[in-house]
Amino acid sequence: MVIIKRPTDIKPSEITDESVYLGRRRFMQGAGVLAAGAMLPAMPATAAERKVLVHDGATPGVQEPPPWLARQIAVATPGPYSTDEKVTPYEWETHYNNFYEFGTDKGDPAKNATDFKSEPWSVEVGGEAEVTGRFTLEDILKPHPLQERIYRLRCVEAWSMVIPWIGFPLSDLIKRFKPTSNAKFVRFQTLLDPKQMPQQRSLFRAIDYPYVEGLRMDEAMNELAFVAVGLYGKHLPPQNGAPLRLVVPWKYGFKGAKSIVKIDFVRNQPMTTWHKQNTHEYGFYSNVNPHVDHPRWSQAHERRLPNSLFDPHVIPTKMFNGYAEQVAYLYKGMDLRKDF
Ligand SMILES: Nc1nc2c(c(=O)[nH]1)N[C@H]1C(S)=C(S)[C@@H](COP(=O)(O)O)O[C@H]1N2
Ligand SMILES: [Mo]
């Protein structure tokens, strides 16, 4: 096992004071506007400008992130590939969750994860790569400027949300470990800690733990694959996978493993949690696909949350969750009914 040195800290000169930064950011959308902004510092906001969406309410009882991470999140900038669809309210994103380690009802994770400790945290990186070892959260995150990506999230259960994540491209993280040509897949593992995660010590576990997910290497290197450390301009609440989780917007939500502690570069397709649980119902690829139904329900439509009995808000599901332009090339020549 090779331990790499902690990446040198960001030089103070590289960190712009937050208030200056926030003021300047209003003018940053488009170089032309930047020049005009320099002359007219009091120029009002226009529709073309976008700012990071920030939830300004406390999440009571939830552990605060370390100050360096809070600072990093505070200077996140709007990133590419964001949808302009209506964003799902913070309350829904943080109180309607799948995180079976904390319970199988949608409200369980928010209730049972409040005392979850996401600091100190470390991630073990192993397998077919030149750089492997155990890294602190700071080692993992510090080199990456953070951005906001407003992505659709389509759960295999046929509901969906629109979530403003804060994070960075997974490919940027992977490159730092220099995977070798033997690395054909990458495997992600969630924390195993029965003391903190009540379902892991339950006799009536719904699934096997630790939770494992995986991507083919070229999928993992696609520009949309994202490591999230926050949402709505703030750190991730534990129920959403603090301190870091995967977001793969063209696949069903369960591909996005939460609270990751281990990343392995492997030669063979890894056995993943839901695929193992029910091989006929949950494929390894699990690309969002309105033409391939789940054996027990249709995938042609989805309930876009929030909804209600009187306003079910059912919309058609799009191929690759609407991201075909960015990802369809990955599956050229594959039969997506077979490799579902
Ligand atoms: N470790 C772990 N990761 C997980 C899950 C889980 O149960 N355990 N659920 C998945 C499913 S089914 C979905 S839809 C998304 C939900 O993410 P969210 O609660 O942040 O919206 O997390 C995924 N990641
Ligand atoms: Mo899901």
The band of 245, judged by pLDDT with boundaries at 50, 70 and 90, is very high
Q: What is the mean pLDDT of the chain?
A: 89
* Nearest ligand, measured from the Cα of 211: 1
50 pLDDT band, cuts 50/70/90, is confident
Q: What is the pLDDT of residues 63-97, one digit of tens each?
A: 899 999 999 999 999 999 999 999 999 999 999 99
Does residue 4 register a pLDDT over 70? no
Q: Which CATH number fits domain 2-331: 3.90.420.10, 2.60.40.10, 3.30.365.10, 3.40.47.10?
A: 3.90.420.10
Nearest-atom number in ligand 1 for the CA of 258 is: 3
Q: What is the pLDDT of residue 18?
A: 35
Q: β-strand 185-190 against 212-216: which pairing, if any? A: antiparallel
Q: Binning pLDDT at 50, 70 and 90, where does residue 16 land?
A: very low
Ligand 1 atom with minimal separation from the 100 CA: 7
Phi and psi at residue 229, to the nearest 5°: -120, 0
Question: Given this model, what pLDDT does residue 325 score?
Answer: 98
Nearest-ligand number for the alpha carbon of 153? 1
Which atom of ligand 1 lies at the shortest distance from residue 109's CA?
Answer: 19
> pLDDT, tens digit, for every residue of 223-234?
999 999 999 999
The larger pLDDT score, comparing residue 68 to residue 1, is at 68
Mutate to test the pocket of ligand 1, among 59, 91, 99 (most ligand atoms within 8 A of CB): 99
Q: What is the pLDDT of residue 17?
A: 36
Q: Which residues line ligand 1 (CB under 6 A)?
A: 97-101, 153, 155, 190, 211, 240-241, 253-254, 256-258
Ligand number nearest to the C-alpha of 94? 1
| Cα pseudo-dihedral 155, 63, 220, 319, rounded to 10 | 20
- pLDDT value at 40 more than 90: no
| Ligand 1 pocket test, candidate residues 200, 245, 258, most atoms within 8 A of CB | 258
Q: How confident is the model at residue 175 (pLDDT cuts 50, 70, 90)?
A: very high
Write the pLDDT tens digit of every residue in 93-151: 999 999 999 999 999 999 999 999 999 999 999 999 999 999 999 999 999 999 999 99
- Distance from the alpha carbon of residue 11 to the mean position of ligand 2, in angstroms: 40
Other Cβ atoms less than 10 A from the Cβ of 217: the count is 16
Closest C-alpha residue for ligand 1 atom 12? 254
Nearest CA to ligand 1 atom 8: 99
User: Region 241-252: what's the mean pLDDT?
Assistant: 98
Alpha-carbon span 137 to 243, nearest angstrom: 8
Q: Domain residue spans in the chain? A: 2-331
* CA 161 to ligand 1: nearest atom: 21
Residue 109 Cα, ligand 1 centroid: separation in angstroms? Answer: 10
Contact, 217 vs 179, CB < 8 A? yes
Which residue owns the Cα nearest ligand 1 atom 10? 254
Cβ–Cβ < 8 Å for 235, 229: yes
pLDDT at 294 over 90: yes
Ligand 1 atom nearest to 207, measured from its CA: 7
Which one has a higher pLDDT value, 14 or 240? 240
End-to-end CA distance of the chain: give it in Å, rounded.
36
Which one, of 237, 239, 236, lies nearest residue 96 by Cα?
A: 239
AA identity, residue 268: N
pLDDT of residue 42 exceeding 90, the answer is no
